[in-house]
Amino acid sequence: MVFKFVRIPARIAALFLAGAMAVGSVHAQTAAPAAPAAEAAKPAEVAPAPAAAPVAAATPGKSQAAIENPYGLRAMWEHGDFVAKGTLFIMIFMSLGTWYIIAVKLWEGRNIRRQAEAASKSFWSAGSVRSGADTLQKDSPFRFIAERGIEATQKHDGLLGQIDLSTWVTMSIDRAIGNVQSRMGDGMAFLATVGSTAPFIGLFGTVWGIYNALVRIGVSGQASIDKVAGPVGEALIMTAIGLAVAVPAVLGYNFIVRKNKLVMDDVRAFGSDLHSVLLASANSKKA
């Protein structure tokens, strides 16, 4: 079988080509809008996320705000008047005096205890009261008592000779012991005064500070927390300072009183023994 090519007329071929071109143009118009949308969506998907703000940049601001406290002691000093500053000066003076007296009395009590041990070892082993007194330190209270006892036995004449020797020596030794006790009590009245008055002085500073704070708040017309907390907190610092001054004074007073009592027991025992030795020495001389 032989195939024969059919010739298409030129007019029909032209119409066929025109229809094919029309169909192609329709497909091109329907597909064209999707391409820009896909291209627009593509940058959004691949766009990198914005870089986070560095945390270190905010850190200096926070640390600086934490260091510069607007409600501390510096603000209290700058905003306080002459009454508040005077009250603060009084409490500072009381605190310095308290710690000075505590340090001095502790050192003094330690020295007296050492001198008591030295007196028990050297004084009673001497041949006489005079030689025993010479073995003691010049600032020792035990030497002071011994010399007063020796002086009482030497001056027992004239009108004083009419007094019994035992009574006269007892009076002299008791006076010497009283002087030692009075000397050991130096500064204790100051500690007692500070311990009893410092809280009230701090409370006075607090009341005065709160009064001034309320006046400033009333003048400004703002009563929010940030306006009230600062001035009132500054005023309350005075109460804390008063307690910080009073507590060491009370504790130091009680501790030193206890130590002085133990030391005075040794001093009185020494005076009693000295009284007996002086009377025995005087009787042996008379005999």
Summarize pLDDT for 50-96 with one digit per residue, the tens: 444 444 444 444 444 444 555 556 666 666 677 778 888 999 999 99
Residue 73 domain flag:
no
Residue 236 domain flag:
yes
Choose among 132, 129, 135, 123: nearest CA to 153: 129
Residue 54 domain flag:
no
Has residue 269 got a pLDDT over 70?
Answer: yes
Residue 190 domain flag:
yes
Confidence of residue 100 (pLDDT cuts 50, 70, 90): very high
Number of helices and strands in the chain (H, E): 10, 0
Confidence of residue 40 (pLDDT cuts 50, 70, 90): very low
Residue 56 domain flag:
no
Number of domains composing the chain = 1
Q: Which residue has the tokens 């060491």?
A: 248
Residue range 183-225, pLDDT digits in tens: 988 999 999 999 999 999 989 888 887 887 777 777 777 666 6
- Separation in Å, CA 186 to CA 12, 75, 105, 179, 182: 138, 38, 9, 11, 7
pLDDT value of position 128: 82
Q: 154 lies in which domain range? A: 80-286
Residue 256 domain flag:
yes
pLDDT value of position 61: 47
- Separation in Å, CA 182 to CA 78, 95, 150, 254: 44, 23, 21, 17
Residue 38 domain flag:
no
8 Å CB contact between 228 and 217: yes
Q: Which pTM value belongs to this model?
A: 0.66
For 227-243, letters b (16+ CB in 10 Å) and e give eeebbbebbbbbbebbe
Residue 24 domain flag:
no
